[in-house]
Structure 1
Amino acid sequence: MKFRSPTDEPLHVALTTGHTCTISPEGDEIPQMFHREAISRGAIPSSITAPETAPVGGFDRKQVVTDAINAMLDGGNEDDFTNNGKPDLRKLQARVGFKVEREEADAVWAEVSKAPDAAPDAA
């Protein structure tokens, strides 16, 4: 039976017996002994026609950080920001629920802080 990888990358399938195979995105005929493991790893049987990229509402890390910084700005709490005006990482991380690196926060802050200035220029 022919299977194809669910992504643009080859799918590697290994059995506890030591047998291995690779399934390409274009599709490959694989022996029966790999079928169950290939399906459990997400390989798509040739008999199933699935969309190439199924839109799934995933986690957009940058958008979550952007929303949190905007909420901090709207909140008006001066303690949410450092003395130099940047978002306080501890407060930002508490809002988003995961670790945010200073470089990541600074990149989003640069976009958010210049956004109001960009609107008049566009007119």
Structure 2
Amino acid sequence: MKFRSPSDQPIHVALTTGHTASIPPEGVELAPMFHKEASARGAVLFDDSGASAITPEARKAAISAAITGMLDGKAEDDFTAEGKPNLTRLKARLGFTVSREEADAVFTELTAKV
């Protein structure tokens, strides 16, 4: 799958295995081992035409990874006063818009496991 940085700055991904990747704004093909971390860091899936090419499964996985990163980061601004994910912060991490219902469904699923 191809990923690109949503800004003009590349995204650097490093895994605990020691593998690293750089995701430029023009995009790059990534090995599957980088997909989850690339999505969590805000990289956007795209096809050769430059259009976003995210499947529902990949979208849910990206939202899940981003919310997990927000939970692990413990930044107060990442969540609303009600304890729900801040959609503005979530969108910035993902590079695409997420509805409140979609974010809440993934958040509920993640927190129910804990």
CA distance in 1, matches of 2:106, 2:83: 14
Q: Structure 2: how far apart are the matches of 1:87 and 1:103?
A: 11
Q: Which of 89, 109, 112 is the matching residue for 1:111?
A: 109
1:6-60, Cα deviation, whole Å (9 max, x unpaired): xxxxxxxxxxxxxxxxxxxxxxxxxxxxxxxxxxxxxxxxxxxxxxxxxxxx750
Q: Look up the match of 1:3.
A: none
Distance 2:111 2:83 in 1: 10
Query: CA offsets, 1:76-98, max 9 Å, x none?
Result: 10110000000000000000000
Q: Percent identity?
A: 53
Larger Rg: 1
Number of matched residues? 59
Shift in Å at residue 115 of structure 1?
A: 0.8
Q: TM-score, normalised by structure 2?
A: 0.50
1:95 maps to what in 2?
A: 93
Q: What's the Cα RMSD here?
A: 1.1
AA in 2 matched with 1:107: A
Matched, 1:66 2:64: yes
Structure 2 stretches of 5 or more lacking a match?
A: 1-53
**Take 1:96 and 1:85, find their aligned partners in 2: how far apart are those partners?**
19
Higher relative contact order (CA 8 A, sep 6+): 2
Using the TM superposition, give the Cα deviation of residue 111 of structure 1 relative to its aligned residue in structure 2, in angstroms: 0.3
TM-score with structure 1 length normalisation?
Answer: 0.46
Deviation of the 1:104 alpha carbon: 0.2
